[in-house]
Chains A and B, each alone.
Chain A
Amino acid sequence: MFKHFLGLQWKSFYRSASFKTEIWFKILMALGALYFIAVFLGLGFGAYFMIDEAGWGNPLRVVNRFMVYYLTFDLVFRYMLQKMPVTNIKPLLYLPFKKSQVVNFSLGKTVVSFFNWSHAFFFIPFSVVLLTKNYPFAQVVGWHLAMMAIIYCNNFINVMVNNKDAVFYVFAGLMILAGISQFYQWFDITLYAQPIFDYFYDMPWTAIIPWALLLALYFLAFGYFKKHMYLDGGLAKKHTEVRTENLDWLNRFGNLGTFLKNDIKLIKRNKRSKTAVLTGFFFVFYGLLFFTGAIEAYDGPFWKIFAGIFVTGGFLFSFGQYVPSWDSSYYPLMMSQNIKYREYLSSKWYLIIIATVISTILATFYVYFGWEAYAAVLVGAIYNIGINSYLVLWGGAYVKTPIELTSNKKAFGDKQAFNAKTLLLTLPKLLLPMVIYAIGHFLISPLAGYLFVAAFGLMGFVFKERAFKMIEGIYKKEKYKTLLAYKQK
């Protein structure tokens, strides 16, 4: 019976649409995975020596001290990304499997998840280094096993709290608060958390406690799932109560208003689009890395333009990039309704413009870092509105990734979103303004650099009609391919 499950699992893996991507993208992905493994390994091997060299004290104690943050971050990360095992259970329900087998298999599947074993790349080398530094064997093993159990506890905690957003946000909020109060030295949570982790080392037998906890959590999760394995229970789709909103004030914009109303509802009522907007919002703070001089590599003059583009272009990149995929689930309707492409595209364009303006206003606080910082933000905004808004719509015509609005799956990048054409289009989005700025900066003065970029952006306004005509043509040309691609979920 277990064999059947494994067979199904294997087929669902290698027959999945995402598996059939281009070879060079697979190579890219493998390189990405290797990079992360290398980073973790580097941390695992290097953490001891780095802490030792910095003179913060006993490396193990230091790691224990910050372990509470590591673990909470892990939990938050899991909550956002780790998929729940309930998917694909439905077709098994009426088959002659015992329910407990199905549950055991589903939970077992989470055990071998990437979110669990990736931690091994840190903990194993770290423990090995400890042993070579003559830390007592039994104590290190006790600590290591305890940590392993706790990571797995996180796994099952996540399984149970899944989709309980209220719990999650309170928890995440408390952790952020703890982080802030530690930074300002009001209250240091690590002082209270560290002893717990120290116990596992000082008294290795206490490692039994997390293992017992893990066992308990497993049975809890098992019971929870078995109890809720009904179509109207845990397997039911969540129905949200409707909140109607009055957006009639948009009517004055005619057909454009009709689309804008729809887009606002799209953003407010779907998980995936909400994530995109939130991501866009966080981009506003991305500039802090540049303007505070936090990262040395970013101190070059044209990096400021790079920052300016990102600070004001968060929404443009996170949402705009996926136009028209946001409408993928009802694209045939849009294509057969009484709609002109021009109006459809205009509404998306206005949405991007409005968001860019809002980001620019939010980013006013960069004035604090001097006029140059704010000039970079303003110039970035002008360039985003004048040039990038077209480029992003243009690139969208080639993306063709259907978006599942109600889930966050693939919210952080998708293979199909990277094709040669979209990659090429990022060049003028990011590099061109940097080059233009550099020319002005080095030939005349920084001010001239900013003026050059702004002038370039303003030119975009002049050519709006032409740009739209061209984009419209491309959308029309790509229409049938796009319709076909959206059909293949």
Chain B
Amino acid sequence: MITVHNLTKSYNSNTVLNIDHMEIPKGQSFGLVGNNGAGKTTLFSLLLDLIQPSSGHIINNEVQVDQSEEWKPFTSAFIDESFLIGYLTPEEYFYFIGELRGRNKADVDALLANYGDFFHGEILGQKKYLRDLSKGNQKKVGIVASFIGNPEVVILDEPFANLDPTTQIRLKGIIKDLAAKEGVTVLVSSHDLIHVTEVCERIVVLNKGEIVKDIHTSTETLKELEAFFAG
């Protein structure tokens, strides 16, 4: 589904990302871990064409992302609060995203109905603008909005941070289902090793912009990761 070719990103002489080759097959749940500054968000921003690669490119479903915009219809993401429109209510925001992705109100409502549990009664019908919601609730809105319109690729940057324990557990279930049942390619980054090992079939460790580990998740993976990060 996604292929990375000789991708580098440098600021001045400082290379923050350098990936020779990486392939993510369709329907894989892909986890990205690494310390601060390892290049996780840089890679995701490159995938979304929010920054330009210094060299190399990314192919998303046969579309080269920095050349064509054709990847947009089947790719969705939630990176940070700059993906939310503060002056809309959650409902209005969902409908807005829905309309952009060719879904009418009824479609969106049907999708939202599946996430009643996840929202825990704190999102819909609150008469609040997104900017007035708590950080955790904002995150829930952003994550669910990225599921609208049956995307084939979903990119979530640190989705577990700021969420309460109950929601974290529910989110893990949602992500697993997306990849396993619906064949969606899910890319997740996280600082929580336990969560990623539980959710992702494959885990890539970035360190200073380079891939240092590429693991097919097994029962040993958590120990291996902990050993790596303990230094």
Interface residues of A in 283-338 (CB under 8 A from B): 329-333, 335-338
Q: Which 4 A-B pairs have the closest CB atoms?
A: A269-B87, A333-B83, A336-B48, A258-B99
Chain B: CB-nearest residue to A331: B82
Q: Mark the stretch among B128-136, B162-170, B196-204 that contacts chain A.
A: B128-136
Determine whether A98 belongs to the interface, using a CB cutoff of 8 Å to chain B.
Answer: no
12 A-B pairs within 8 Å (CB atoms) are namely A240-B132, A242-B128, A258-B96, A330-B85, A330-B86, A332-B79, A336-B48, A336-B83, A338-B100, A339-B100, A406-B131, A486-B82
Determine whether B51 belongs to the interface, using a CB cutoff of 8 Å to chain A.
Answer: yes
Q: Are A337 and B97 in contact (CB under 8 A)?
A: yes
Determine whether A15 belongs to the interface, using a CB cutoff of 8 Å to chain B.
Answer: no
Determine whether A266 belongs to the interface, using a CB cutoff of 8 Å to chain B.
Answer: yes
A381 to chain B, nearest CB (A): 30
User: What 18 new A-B contacts, CB under 8 Å, besides A330-B86, A480-B50, A483-B51?
Assistant: A237-B132, A242-B127, A244-B92, A262-B96, A329-B86, A330-B83, A330-B85, A332-B48, A333-B83, A336-B50, A336-B72, A337-B76, A337-B100, A337-B101, A338-B100, A339-B100, A480-B52, A483-B50
Interface residues of A in 230-266 (CB under 8 A from B): 237, 239-242, 244, 255, 258, 261-262, 265-266
Interface residues of A in 473-489 (CB under 8 A from B): 480, 483-484, 486-487
Q: Which residues of B contact A103 (CB under 8 A)?
A: none
Q: Which residues of B contact A266 (CB under 8 A)?
A: 87
Interface residues of B in 159-205 (CB under 8 A from A): none
Q: How far is the CA of A262 from the CA of B88 in the complex (A)?
A: 8
Cβ-defined partner of A480 (8 Å) among B51, B76, B84? B51
A335 touching B87 in the complex, CB below 8 Å, given contacts A239-B132, A240-B129, A242-B129: no
Determine whether B210 belongs to the interface, using a CB cutoff of 8 Å to chain A.
Answer: no
Q: Are B127 and A335 in contact (CB under 8 A)?
A: no
Q: How far is the CA of A429 from the CA of B129 in the complex (A)?
A: 37
Determine whether A90 belongs to the interface, using a CB cutoff of 8 Å to chain B.
Answer: no
Determine whether B18 belongs to the interface, using a CB cutoff of 8 Å to chain A.
Answer: no
Q: Which residues of A contact B83 (CB under 8 A)?
A: 330, 332-333, 336
Q: Which residues of A contact B226 (CB under 8 A)?
A: none
Q: Is the interface of B mostly helix, strand, loop or mixed?
A: loop
Q: Are A329 and B82 in contact (CB under 8 A)?
A: yes
- Annotate A102-140 by CB proximity to B: 1 below 8 A, 0 otherwise: 000000000000000000000000000000000000000
Chain B: CB-nearest residue to A327: B85
- Annotate B46-84 by CB proximity to A: 1 below 8 A, 0 otherwise: 001111100000000000000001001101110110111
Q: Are A336 and B96 in contact (CB under 8 A)?
A: no
Q: How far is the CA of A244 from the CA of B99 in the complex (A)?
A: 18
Determine whether B8 belongs to the interface, using a CB cutoff of 8 Å to chain A.
Answer: no
Determine whether B29 belongs to the interface, using a CB cutoff of 8 Å to chain A.
Answer: no
Q: How far is the CA of A97 from the CA of B224 in the complex (A)?
A: 47
Highest count of chain B CB atoms <10 Å: which of A255, A329, A338, A406:
A338
Determine whether B89 belongs to the interface, using a CB cutoff of 8 Å to chain A.
Answer: yes
Q: Are A332 and B69 in contact (CB under 8 A)?
A: no
Q: How far is the CA of A152 from the CA of B81 in the complex (A)?
A: 41
Q: How far is the CA of A241 from the CA of B126 in the complex (A)?
A: 10
Q: Are B82 and A330 in contact (CB under 8 A)?
A: yes
Cβ-defined partner of B128 (8 Å) among A239, A262, A406? A239
Q: How far is the CA of A388 from the CA of B230 in the complex (A)?
A: 61
Q: How far is the CA of A484 from the CA of B42 in the complex (A)?
A: 13
B61 to chain A, nearest CB (A): 14
Q: Are A335 and B85 in contact (CB under 8 A)?
A: no
Q: Which residues of A contact B72 (CB under 8 A)?
A: 336-339
Q: How far is the CA of A262 from the CA of B85 in the complex (A)?
A: 10
Q: How far is the CA of A284 from the CA of B72 in the complex (A)?
A: 42
Chain A: CB-nearest residue to B51: A480
Determine whether A58 belongs to the interface, using a CB cutoff of 8 Å to chain B.
Answer: no
Q: Which residues of B contact A335 (CB under 8 A)?
A: 48-50
B126 to chain A, nearest CB (A): 8
Interface residues of B in 94-128 (CB under 8 A from A): 96-97, 99-102, 127-128
Q: How far is the CA of A332 from the CA of B51 in the complex (A)?
A: 10
B125 to chain A, nearest CB (A): 10
Q: Are A405 and B82 in contact (CB under 8 A)?
A: no
Determine whether A340 belongs to the interface, using a CB cutoff of 8 Å to chain B.
Answer: yes
Q: Which residues of A contact B131 (CB under 8 A)?
A: 406
Q: How far is the CA of A100 from the CA of B79 in the complex (A)?
A: 41
Chain B: CB-nearest residue to A244: B89
A404 to chain B, nearest CB (A): 10
Q: Which residues of A contact B128 (CB under 8 A)?
A: 239, 242
Q: Which residues of B contact A340 (CB under 8 A)?
A: 69
Q: Are B50 and A338 in contact (CB under 8 A)?
A: no
Q: Which residues of B contact A265 (CB under 8 A)?
A: 87-88, 92
Q: How far is the CA of A337 from the CA of B99 in the complex (A)?
A: 11
Determine whether A270 belongs to the interface, using a CB cutoff of 8 Å to chain B.
Answer: yes
Q: Are B87 and A255 in contact (CB under 8 A)?
A: no
A394 to chain B, nearest CB (A): 21
Chain B: CB-nearest residue to A248: B105
Q: Are A405 and B100 in contact (CB under 8 A)?
A: no
Q: Are A255 and B99 in contact (CB under 8 A)?
A: yes
A405 touching B51 in the complex, CB below 8 Å, given contacts A331-B82, A337-B100, A339-B72: no
Q: Which residues of B contact A486 (CB under 8 A)?
A: 82
Q: Are A332 and B92 in contact (CB under 8 A)?
A: no
Cβ-defined partner of A269 (8 Å) among B82, B97, B101, B129? B129
Q: Which residues of B contact A262 (CB under 8 A)?
A: 85, 88, 96
